[in-house]
């Protein structure tokens, strides 16, 4: 059971991108200090338990939350679009959020969504990135790693990673904190840790 209040109803609307409409679910914090924009996994949606836990955690410290659905999901497809299209659509959502909110933006996401958040952090001006189950490499293929995507992020990064994740494990760095969660890529046991660790991290990295 969550230690934080249930999420309030979201305001849902579509945002035009070069690859079709994205759908955003917006929850505004009163007197918001920042905004956290988060994306879903490759075949999942924005109702994943760890994403919802991150949303509760952010709202608890006055950070508004936008859970963003990529155009391919809005169109009813499960297979993800190419990376370049994902990034272009993400940055279109970021631009719309920045125009409306105007304050500091944190990026984040689950699995594939975490990769998008990392790749777009510099171009989108993120002040920090939250990664839920960053897929370091395809299962069984550690040589095909994606470390360059997350290593390139110069803003602070917080990662929640399963200790038995077949997609690999990350090490911490001077700018990257890694919270190890018992379990696999699903992060089923992560929500309590997300709710306890994310609020302090967000407050620490608010500009």
Q: According to the model, what pLDDT value does residue 90 have?
A: 98
Q: According to the model, what pLDDT value does residue 180 have?
A: 98
Give the helix/strand (H/E) hosting 110. strand 105-110
Q: According to the model, what pLDDT value does residue 2 have?
A: 72
Q: What is the pTM assigned to this prediction?
A: 0.97
Whether 5 maps to a domain, the answer reads: no
Q: Give the Cβ contact number of residue 203 at 10 Å.
A: 13
Alpha helices in the chain (DSSP H): 49-60, 71-74, 83-101, 112-124, 147-151, 191-205
Whether 4 maps to a domain, the answer reads: no
Task: pLDDT tens for the chain, 207 residues: list them.
Answer: 577 989 999 999 999 999 999 999 999 999 999 999 999 999 999 999 999 999 999 999 999 999 999 999 999 998 999 999 999 999 999 999 999 999 999 999 999 999 999 999 999 999 999 999 999 999 999 999 999 999 999 999 999 999 999 999 999 999 999 999 999 999 999 999 999 999 999 999 998
Q: Tokens standing for 184?
A: 């696999």
Which residue reads 């994740």 in tokens? 165
62 DSSP assignment: T
CATH number of the structural domain spanning residue 52: 3.40.50.1820
Whether 21 maps to a domain, the answer reads: yes
Whether 165 maps to a domain, the answer reads: yes
Q: According to the model, what pLDDT value does residue 3 have?
A: 77
How far apart are the C-alpha atoms of 121 and 118, rounded to whole Å?
5
Whether 96 maps to a domain, the answer reads: yes
Whether 150 maps to a domain, the answer reads: yes
User: 142: domain range?
Assistant: 11-205
Task: Say how many domains are in the chain.
Answer: 1
Whether 3 maps to a domain, the answer reads: no
Whether 1 maps to a domain, the answer reads: no
Contact 52, 7 (CB under 8 A): yes
């Amino acid at each position: 059971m969550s230690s934080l209040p249930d999420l309030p109803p979201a305001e849902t609307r579509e945002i035009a991108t070069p690859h079709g409409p994205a759908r955003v679910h917006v929850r505004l914090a009163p007197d918001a200090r920042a905004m956290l924009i988060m994306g879903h996994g490759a075949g999942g949606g924005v109702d994943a338990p760890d994403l919802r836990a991150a949303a509760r955690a952010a709202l608890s410290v006055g950070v508004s939350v936008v859970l963003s659905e990529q155009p391919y999901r809005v169109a009813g497809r499960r297979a993800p679009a190419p990376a370049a299209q994902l990034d272009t659509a993400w940055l279109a959502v970021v631009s719309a959020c920045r125009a409306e909110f105007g304050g500091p933006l944190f990026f984040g996401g689950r699995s594939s969504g975490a990769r998008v958040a990392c790749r777009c952090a510099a171009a989108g001006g993120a002040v920090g990135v939250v990664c839920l189950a960053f897929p370091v490499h395809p299962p069984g293929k550690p040589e095909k790693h994606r470390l360059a995507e997350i290593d390139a992020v110069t803003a602070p990064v917080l990662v929640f990673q399963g200790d038995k994740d077949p997609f690999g494990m990350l090490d911490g760095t001077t700018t990257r904190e890694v919270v190890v969660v018992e379990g696999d890529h699903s992060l089923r046991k992560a929500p309590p840790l997300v709710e306890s660790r994310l609020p302090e991290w967000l407050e620490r990295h608010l500009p």
